[in-house]
Structure 1
Amino acid sequence: MTGPVAPDAFLQRMECLLGAEYSAFLASYGEERLYGLRVNTLKLPVERFLELTRLKLNPVPWTDTGFYYEYDETNRPGKHPHYHAGLYYIQEPSAMAPAELLEVQPGEAVLDLCAAPGGKTTQLAAKLQGQGVIVANDVHPDRVKALVKNIELCGIRNAVVLNEDPERLTGPFAGFFDKILIDAPCSGEGMFRKEEDMAKAWQPDWVDKYAAMQRVLLRQAAQMLKPGGRLVYSTCTFSPEENEAMIAGFLDEHPAFEVVPATAEAGTGFAPGRPDWLAEGFARASEVAGTARLWPHRLQGEGHYAAVLRHRGAAAAPAPAPLRAVAAAPARPARSARGAGRAAAAAAEPREALARWAREHLAAALPAAIAWRGEHAYAAPEGLPPLDGIRVIRPGWYLGGTAKQRFVPSHALAMGLRAEDALRRIHFTAEDPRAVRYLKGETLELAPEELHTDDGVPAKGYCLVCVDGCPVGWGKWQDGLLKNEYPPGWRWT
């Protein structure tokens, strides 16, 4: 970008706010945007990825898993087998900060309230390391599709995906979560350098429109956080109305919450919040100085804001509903003993097909809690409240479904396994041309000696195809040919 494309009304307001700092801010719009990726530690350690990759990388200061990369025709992370293996997520560097500030620990219950397309969800899930549960919700049906795909690509096994108005979640999840992230919809001013179309579409009234949404989201999230829990509110905008004013108003309404300073880590370039930009009337305005602003002229990233809030535990937690795993809807009662027998046999058939397939193809045991939706099987995280009446898109890790009394494994199952979990494995390196041919959906010739099987396992059957030791999908081997099972919608184009 050679100069700012931001609207004049926006630039005038920023000049008024920033004063002497405005010239440096304006100059940042003449700089090239920065590109980033985050290593998916559910798949492999950062050190191992750095050994494998040929990408030119430099570390992002505020996360141990994030890196800047130089984008050119020879350095395109989205066009590489490692991307299809879910080894990293392409993410703007500043957008990595909110999930870091949440400080998620393995075993916790975590909510990503506005989750699509899934960048922060996948970052939080990596911190859980397969322990606990992450509930990812988004109100937009079309955006949920991208969320589901990214969760599956990253091999996340303990996620529940919802497509619901957050207000409907406050009942079943009252006082349930240890950690909550609200990456709130906003006027997007911090992304103008990255998204020129957003800058061209921006209107001055967006600030008030989004502030009204954000205020409601904060109130709803507060009801779902445990006493002692931690909540991070973030936006990618500069307006004080959507940032400091939002937090100051929330603190006045919720005396049990306090700000946890977000700028304590030296060297990150995070700037403090600006209570001096607030109108009068906020009793706790001074506390927003502990929130964080990420300015494009002060660090290597786009504009962001983040506030870390802690529930001090002064209020008693609402009594949670009895815990149970997410389950499929109950079967219709049978009309007779014979009918009941037929119904029981029909219900048993998919379960038997899954168990039989697992014995023939997996070295690892499947999770104990399996939820069935018709003939589709999910490994459901345990300990969730009843979700009757809630739009559940994915009640857990999607394993696959049955067809003609045979189980067909899902792509999500392949992506969530480790190479050693499968009884048959095929290993390609990223440089092997067959890796790309597989990702394009081609049938491959494959000699029997290239197939890795456990002792006593016949060669014919489903094989887990791996690139540099990490799964990318299924194939079916027979008589020297690997039939490609890579999903058409995922293929390399």
Structure 2
Amino acid sequence: MAVQLPSSFTQRMKDLLGTEYKQFADSYLETPYGGIRVNTLKITAESLLALSPFQLEPIPWCPTGYYTEEGVRPGKHPYYHAGLYYIQEPSAMAPVELLGVQPGDRVLDLCAAPGGKSSQIAAKLQGQGLLVSNDLHPERTKALAKNLELYGVRNAVVLNESPDHIAAAFPHFFDRILIDAPCSGEGMFRKDEDMVKQWEPETPAKYAAMQRDILRSAASALAPGGTLVYSTCTFAIEENEGTIAEFLAGYPQFSVVPVGGTGSFAMGFGELPGTARLWPHKVKGEGHFMAVLRHDGTPAPIVEPEPEEILLSISTRKNFKGKPAAKPTVTRVEEVRSKGGRASGKTTSGTSRDLQHVSVEVALAAYGDFINEQLGWEPAGHPVLFGDHLYISPLPQESLNGLRTIRPGWSVGHLRNGRFIPSHPLATALHPSESCRSLSLSTSNGEAVSYLKGETLAIPLERLSVRPGSTPKGYMLVCIDGYSAGWGKWQDGMLKNEYPAGWRWT
């Protein structure tokens, strides 16, 4: 084998697979399959196929997923930086397809980092409804937030919370919940040798205990009649069928919705009727387990909230063409930052120091002036101010009180010396028609890469797309072959580059 597998693992797999074990073992001699998934928030699958510079083969279980050829590096193309596709292991695309997300649903992705499945859910929501993407590990939320920003997601909240706290804050709230559970990772041994090094015989039992706790919390957060998909990338029965069987025994209001073995899903079946496994010797992908659970509509147990320091933000609603609809109650907040530099809000009650912050009225007035001049339309949602950073949230501010919030919504910009500075995530989520000014750069002549490297470009006036009644001077939505990538500022034939340093092509 190309990968040296632990002997206790191979013996268990021989017992589990019997005569199929040789086929399974031979699959470790094969190169893992690569894939991309089209981001339909920005482009259709058909359009990407027409533009794609590399060969793509459809993935049977995901209508927007495609295998890439061996040796292809899709992350080294400007289309990746424009958020047109997500690089994702093919089997990992299956759980969200089973979740059955529809536009307008309220969806919770409980173990979301680095964001592949959350971006897949967001594409299915098509900007409608709500996505709450959570991860328990603070460092992992950095990649989660950045990926949702890159792919132009407008209706997501990013949390760094424990599942039981989320269940307490949102009892019986979500229509659909995805648990891509932390696991022993046995299904990834072929793809990631570090997973092999970290594995020990007792690892599956350790993760199974954690998985049972997550499932119980999810049961309390799911709305009556809702759907929950549980998935792992491991082969261990105690983490898969065993975990689900124990959950069903304690929660009789849930039942397994059988995963069909025909149509787009060609997979090996699990030991628990209705659940499914993707085996690397049967499909072109790594090992996965999936179970679809449906609530019958009867009340589920509610997790009692635990005392916790309340995290507050400032929010208000406003008619952006005039003054605030009502004078807001302003709570001063102390800005705190995690290791990743993500802003949160924290009450300062009982402290001797009160940091000065931008007033809500000033922030919203500057934002209103910007969107009237730059967009000409008002993004829907609840304005939330963290320090001097403004977000448009799909949830009212009070819904997030008491939760560790990394991103309360769509980051739209911040204030600097009384002026509103648009954010990079605002640009990546816009379509060219939504901005009064836009410019499309080409991938064929190198100018798109120059922009992604942060360079200043000479751009004649006639190349700009300017809405009637607007002037070319000011913020320009810069696109790559027609798809938004970031901001620039045009004046007198020169485009000043506003692409963030931390995102640039290297």
TM-score > 0.5 by shorter chain: yes
Q: Which moved more, 1:6-15 or 1:467-476?
A: 6-15
Question: What are the Cα deviations for residues 22-55 of structure 1, in whole angstroms up to 9, with x where unaligned?
Answer: 0000000001110011000000111111111121
Which residue type is aligned with residue 470 of structure 1? Answer: Y
Is the partner of 1:170 in helix, strand or coil?
A: helix
Contact 2:314 2:331 in 1 (8 A): no
Distance 1:311 1:365, change over 3 A: same
Residue of structure 2 in register with 1:289 after alignment: 273
Are 1:437 and 2:450 matched, yes or no? yes
Report the equivalent of 1:51.
50
Root-mean-square deviation (CA), in Å?
2.1
**Equivalent runs, 1:464-479 vs 2, <5 Å:** 464-479=477-492
Match of 2:37 in 1: 38
Q: 1:11 to 1:103 in 2, by over 3 A?
A: same
Aligned length: 464
Letter of the 2:152 counterpart = G
Q: Decide whether the 8 Å contact of 1:429 with 1:435 is kept in 2.
A: yes
- Does 2:283 correspond to 1:299? yes
Cα deviation, residue 16, structure 1: 1.5
* Matched-pair contact (CA < 8 Å) for 2:220–2:303: no
Matches within 5 A, 1:443-458: 443-458=456-471
Structure 1 residues 261 and 385, CA, compared in 2 at 3 Å: closer, same or farther? farther
Of 139, 143, 151, 2:140 maps to 143
1:13 maps to which residue?
A: 12
The letter of the residue matching 1:29 is Y
Deviation at residue 266 of structure 1 after TM alignment:
3.2
CA contact (8 A) 2:381 2:394 kept: no
Change (3 A) 1:432 1:362: farther
User: Cα distance, 1:358 vs. partner?
Assistant: 1.4
User: How far 1:456 sits from its partner (Å)?
Assistant: 2.9
- Residue 277 (structure 1) aligns with: none
Indicate yes or no: 2:265 matched with 1:268: yes
1:216 corresponding residue in structure 2:
213
Q: Which whole-Å deviations, capped at 9, do the CAs of 1:158-194 have from their partners, x for residues lacking one?
A: 0000001111111111100000000000000000000
For the residues of structure 1 that align with 2:268 and 2:367, how far apart are their CA atoms? Answer: 53
Task: Name the CA distance, whole Å, in 2 between partners of 1:188 and 1:240.
Answer: 13
Secondary structure of the 1:42 match is: coil
1:368 deviates by: 4.9
Aligned counterparts of 1:424 and 1:397: Cα–Cα separation in 2: 21
1:359 is displaced (CA, Å) by 1.9
CA contact (8 A) 2:438 2:479 kept: yes
Query: What's the offset of the Cα at 1:103?
Result: 0.4
Give CA-to-partner distance per residue, 1:199-252, whole Å, 9 cap, x none.
122111111111111010000100000111000000000000100000000000
1:232 alignment counterpart: 229
- Name the CA distance, whole Å, in 1 between partners of 2:77 and 2:358: 46
- AA paired with 1:305? F
Query: Structure 1 residues 150, 430: CA separation in 2 closer, same or farther (over 3 Å shift)?
Result: same
Whether the aligned pair in 2 keeps the contact of 1:43 and 1:155 (CA below 8 Å) is yes
Question: Within the alignment, does 1:397 sit opposite 2:410 as a pair?
Answer: yes
* Contact 1:263–1:272 (CA under 8 A) maintained in structure 2: no
Residues 28 and 405 of structure 1, relative CA distance in 2, 3 Å threshold? same
Is residue 2:497 matched to residue 1:460?
no
In structure 2, the gaps of 5 or more residues are 306-311, 316-328, 333-355
Q: Distance in 2 between matches of 1:44 and 1:6?
A: 41
TM-score (norm 2): 0.88
Q: Which moved more, 1:93-102 or 1:366-375?
A: 366-375
2:193 counterpart of 1:196: yes
Deviation for aligned residue 1:197: 1.6
Q: Is 1:76 the equivalent of 2:76? A: no
Residue 316 to residue 233, structure 1, CA distance change in 2 (3 Å): closer
Which letter maps to 1:51? A
Q: Secondary structure at the match of 2:169?
A: coil
Does the 8 Å CA contact 1:260/1:309 hold for their aligned counterparts?
yes
Q: Shift in Å at residue 79 of structure 1?
A: 0.5
Query: Residue in 2 aligned with 1:285?
Result: none
C-alpha contact (below 8 Å) 2:167/2:303 kept by paired residues: no
**Which runs of 5 or more residues in structure 1 are unaligned?**
275-287, 334-342
Q: Aligned partners of 1:347, 1:460: CA distance in 2, in Å?
A: 28
The percent identity for this pair of structures is 54
- Structure-to-structure mapping, 1:18-417, within 5 angstroms: 18-72=17-71, 75-266=72-263, 268-274=265-271, 288-315=272-299, 328=314, 331-332=330-331, 346-382=359-395, 386-417=399-430
1:261 aligns to what SS in structure 2? coil
SS of residue in 2 equivalent to 1:386: helix
Q: CA deviation at 1:364?
A: 3.2
8 Å CA contact 1:172–1:385 kept in 2: the answer is no
Alpha-carbon deviation of 1:366? 2.5
- Counterpart Cα distance in 1 of 2:400 and 2:502: 30
- Note the C-alpha offset of 1:450: 1.5
